[in-house]
Structure 1
Amino acid sequence: MSSQTPKVKSADRVLDIFELFTGDKETYNLTEISKSLNMPPSSTYLILQNMLSRGYLETDRSGKQFRIGYKLFTIRSGYMRNSSLTGEFSQIADKIIDDLNETTSLAIRAGNNLLYIGEKVSKHALRFTPSIGTHLPLHATASGKVLLADLSMEELRELYPNDELEKVTDKTISTFSDLLKELEKVRQQGFGYNMGETVDGVHCVAGAVRDADGRTVASVSISVPVVRITGEIWGGVHDWIKRSCEELSNKVYCQLR
């Protein structure tokens, strides 16, 4: 007589919802989830609200379309600390700290947010200190602009259906048209910039880490308080961004060809 694996119905339903997002669609509404999984709308709603409050799901601005939330990416980032990408980044970041002593970060895209999955913090008392798992609006960060610059107009419009964008500081890009102009500069220059758009008084430069097909999969950035920026420091920041992105792309992804 074969033994049966014990099941917890509510847990099964949560897992079914997660697995639904492995399909072709990125977002689903309550009705679609309920019908797809043959679950009562009332209990589906309660489970979705629970997952939403815990960060495992998030909604668009209407509050009706659900997608995978930041918490899964945070868990994934913890796992990735031991992966090749974050391991190689850690070695390069140590060199950047030794040379520039300015905070350097590794980030990926999580929906319309930037998610930090690696960082080495400056030893200066005055410094920018993003934490692993922290997420920020893509358009307000240097790394976010680098990641957005790789997307098509259709993909950008899906992330930003409205012309007005969320402001983090008074310097944050606040319109979709201005964002498009900024992304074109990123494509031409090869660098993304954040001039006080996330934190007043902190400037940041970022570059793209690309996979074997040339697609941007992550971004490396270096953040410097304005009071410490000199021509020499700014030049060093650009040199290290270029070098670190090339090293990560080659060591982690090109070897997979």
Structure 2
Amino acid sequence: MHRKREKSDYIVQNVDLAFDILFYIARRQYTKLKDLEEKFQTNYTNLEKILEVLIIRGYLDYNKRKKIYSLGIKNFELGHSYISHTEIRKQARPFLQKLAEEFQENVYLATRSGHEIVYIDSYEIPRSVVVKSRVGRLLPMYASASGKVHLAFMDKEDLEEFFREVKLEKFTENTITDKNLLLKELEEVRRNGYAIDNEEWEKEVRCISVPVRDYTGDIVAAITLSAPAFRMPFNLVHGKMKDSFKQASQELSEKLGYSKEIQL
């Protein structure tokens, strides 16, 4: 009995350590083995086995070239299940519907996942020509309107880390891959309160996005409309559409407890 208890304790400790590793990497987004060794002060062989299991089960990814660990897709599956019951999705739903019906286009709720954006809900309009549903998809932050919203209001240190870790690759001829040009656009997003994806992720697809803040003032999501570019002329985007989306941004953020006073 004594040996069984020892084995059980050992397994429980490893399970506990596995969770600690996941949350540690989630906060840092990318981590090297030496950082994990220094942080958890555990046997190297034991740590390597735990990491191997997490990789096999899809909870961690390992970049062999850079020798870094990051969260795997399985965490999204768990998160997606949880998100379906969280307040923000429920509170955002009427706004998605209202905007989708006003402009007769698909409207999405997106949030940050590491250095990418994931779409977690939508209200979609049945039309003969539509943008393929983006729910569950991961998009690059710098080439998506919702991603630019998050980048624009990111802390300076986090933004510097983003540029260190993310290679600005070209997806279309409009993708911004120059750091200085991207920083200039992010300044405009902060000033204007909304972001545009002008066929930067997908050709012939244009998007507008606004931030959603919680009671702390942090941006926790973005409301995004995606449509064929020919149905989104810039006079509409920067006119009526922008006004409606900024109003929705303000009202939804207030429902989540946000007040401009907390920024003072």
The structural deviation recorded for 1:188 is 1.1
Give the counterpart letter for 2:137 in structure 1: T
Quick check: 1:182 aligned with 2:201?
no
Aligned Cα root-mean-square deviation (Å): 3.2
1:88 to 85, 88, 91: 91
The structural deviation recorded for 1:198 is 1.1
The structural deviation recorded for 1:11 is 7.9
Which residue does the alignment assign to 1:38? 42
Which residue does the alignment assign to 1:253? 257
Q: For the Cα contact (< 8 Å) 2:106–2:122, is it kept in 1?
A: yes
Aligned residue for 1:160, secondary structure, equals: helix
Give the counterpart letter for 1:13 in structure 2: N
Q: What percent of counterpart residues are identical?
A: 28
2:212 to 209, 213, 216: 209
2:199 to 196, 201, 212: 196
Q: Which has the higher helix share?
A: 2
- What is the TM-score of this pair, normalised by structure 2? 0.81
The separation in 2 between residues aligned to 1:237 and 1:202, in whole angstroms, is: 16
Which ranges of structure 2 fall in alignment gaps of 5 or more residues?
none
CA displacement 1:161-214 (0-9 Å, x = unmatched)? 168512222221112222211111111111111001111101001011112232
* 1:105-116 → structure 2 map (5 Å cutoff): 105-116=108-119
Quick check: 1:140 aligned with 2:157?
no
The separation in 2 between residues aligned to 1:89 and 1:198, in whole angstroms, is: 24
Q: For the Cα contact (< 8 Å) 2:213–2:253, is it kept in 1?
A: yes
Deviating beyond 6 angstroms after TM superposition, the runs of 4 or more aligned structure 1 residues are: 3-6, 8-11
Distance 1:166 1:96, change over 3 A: same
Aligned residue for 1:253, secondary structure, equals: coil
The separation in 1 between residues aligned to 2:170 and 2:15, in whole angstroms, is: 34
The structural deviation recorded for 1:114 is 0.5
1:29 to 14, 27, 32: 32
Which residue does the alignment assign to 1:238? 242
The structural deviation recorded for 1:54 is 4.8
The separation in 2 between residues aligned to 1:56 and 1:228, in whole angstroms, is: 40
Q: For the Cα contact (< 8 Å) 2:217–2:258, is it kept in 1?
A: no
The separation in 2 between residues aligned to 1:63 and 1:15, in whole angstroms, is: 27
Which ranges of structure 1 fall in alignment gaps of 5 or more residues?
none
CA displacement 1:78-131 (0-9 Å, x = unmatched)? 211222210121122122222222111111111111111111223112212343
Aligned residue for 1:214, secondary structure, equals: coil
